[in-house]
Structure 1
Amino acid sequence: MSRNRMSGSGMSGSRAEAASARRSVVGRARRPQRSRTPLVVAGSVVLAVVALFAVYTSSTTGDAVASARYDVGDPGIGATAPDFVLPAAAGGGPAPTVRLSDYRGETVLLYFHEGLGCQPCWDQIRDLESDPGLLASVGIDQLLTITSGPQDLIAQKMRDDGLTAPALADTDLAVSAQWEANRFGMMGNSRNGHTFVLVGPDGVIQWRADYGGPPNYTMYVPGTQLLDDLRAARQAG
């Protein structure tokens, strides 16, 4: 009897140990694994930063330097500037029309703007005229402004604001469309935006900035900022 009780006790002990071992295994199986989510998120962030840096680098180097402040339309940097002939509403001197190729040998800044109804556009001309040394400091010899609208109303606006730069009337937007200056503005294709194109003495485009597009639809750029963008593009090129 004593042997049987001992044997039963031993079997009970073995079963208890086996049950304890199973609970230990189950406990280890149920123990939560260390989450890898933070590592995955961190890796994704690093990849996103690298991708954004690559996009930024590609957008600020190369033949057409695109700043965060402006687009670059076509024709762009390195292209031969398409010639044009436009009537001079004001500032054209004795000649009733102005031809771009007449300025061959000079560095010309073309300013395509929205025109009538956009006072900041005229303020832009006024501020560029008020400091002749500003444009001269980057080698610009001549400023030509181009907008749509009736020639007589453009001439009247120039007189009212006391402006003297040549104001060319592109009434049907034919020249502006050829230069894609009416692609970057708040008025769709019906008006110009706020575009500057620098044409070198050889007739080749040295710089272009279309400021008038979304999301800001800029209609005025401080002169110092304009020249900073021009210098930055020259250095990157």
Structure 2
Amino acid sequence: MTGKTTTSSSAAHHAHEVRAKAERERLARRKRTRRLLSAALGVVVLGLITLALVQAAPTSESTETTAPPFTLSTTAGTTVSLSDYRGKPVLLYFNEGAGCGSCTAQMAEIEKDAAFQASGITVLPIVMNKVEQIAPDLQYFRVKTPYLLDDGTVSKAYGTLGTGMHEGLPGHGFVLIDKDGVQRWFGNYPSMYVAPAELLQEVRSRL
């Protein structure tokens, strides 16, 4: 009986050791998997942060082309043609329009900037909206400048479609046209805002 008991005890001990070893290996595998997942997640997060920073970084490009002509109706019930401003510099402000609070706030800040108002540069905001869509935003932010209403033709002609968060809408961008009708500069601001003083400095350096 003693021999059998010893053999049984040894077998049980061996089985226990096997189970313990298997458990240790399982835990080790889980730890390795967690480390790998954590590292992979870190790479993904870093990539997303980098992508966001790249997308949010403003881009600026000098140009030297004849500005595409256009005539658009406005929120004031009038029509505006680019040719109306021949002889003076014009800054086209393309933006997402209705529902984009920062877009409308941008125009409100430009209106409040005394240096901008004294610069002699006319700012023409252009959106792909109907009057009833954009009017509440203008009223809320107390914007007085009439907005030009585009069906996408002008935004496409100036290469602003899809430069923001939405493929079928213009991004937050500015196009400078000099007094002779020549397009001098395009600036895109995915962060949805640029300080008026900074914008004016950029524009003046291109004229």
Query: What's the TM-score, normalizing by structure 2?
Result: 0.66
Query: Which ranges of structure 2 fall in alignment gaps of 5 or more residues?
Result: 1-56
Note the C-alpha offset of 1:232.
Answer: 5.1
Out of 45, 65, 89, which is 1:107 matched to? 89
Out of 117, 121, 125, which is 2:107 matched to? 125
Read off the aligned partner of 2:203 and give its amino acid letter.
Answer: L
Matched, 1:219 2:192: yes
Paired residue secondary structure (1:110): strand
Q: Distance in 1 between matches of 2:116 and 2:60?
A: 23
* Identical columns (%): 40
Q: Distance in 2 between matches of 1:187 and 1:132?
A: 32
Q: What is the aligned length?
A: 151
CA contact (8 A) 1:143 1:166 kept: no
Question: Could you tell me which residue of structure 2 aligns to residue 161 of structure 1?
Answer: 141
Q: Distance in 1 between matches of 2:59 and 2:202?
A: 9
**Per residue, is there more helix in 1 or in 2?**
2
**Per residue, is there more strand in 1 or in 2?**
2
CA contact (8 A) 2:96 2:127 kept: yes
Query: Which ranges of structure 1 fall in alignment gaps of 5 or more residues?
Result: 1-67, 212-216
CA contact (8 A) 2:113 2:196 kept: no
Matched, 1:82 2:64: no
User: Which runs of structure 2 are paired with 1:1-237 in the superposition (5 Å)?
Assistant: 69-72=58-61, 77-90=63-76, 96-134=78-116, 136-137=118-119, 139-140=120-121, 142-170=122-150, 172-188=151-167, 190-211=168-189, 217-231=190-204, 233=206
CA contact (8 A) 2:75 2:148 kept: yes
User: Higher Cα Rg: structure 1 or 2?
Assistant: 1
Query: What's the TM-score, normalizing by structure 1?
Result: 0.58
C-alpha root-mean-square deviation of aligned residues, in Å?
A: 2.0
Q: Distance in 2 between matches of 1:156 and 1:85?
A: 24
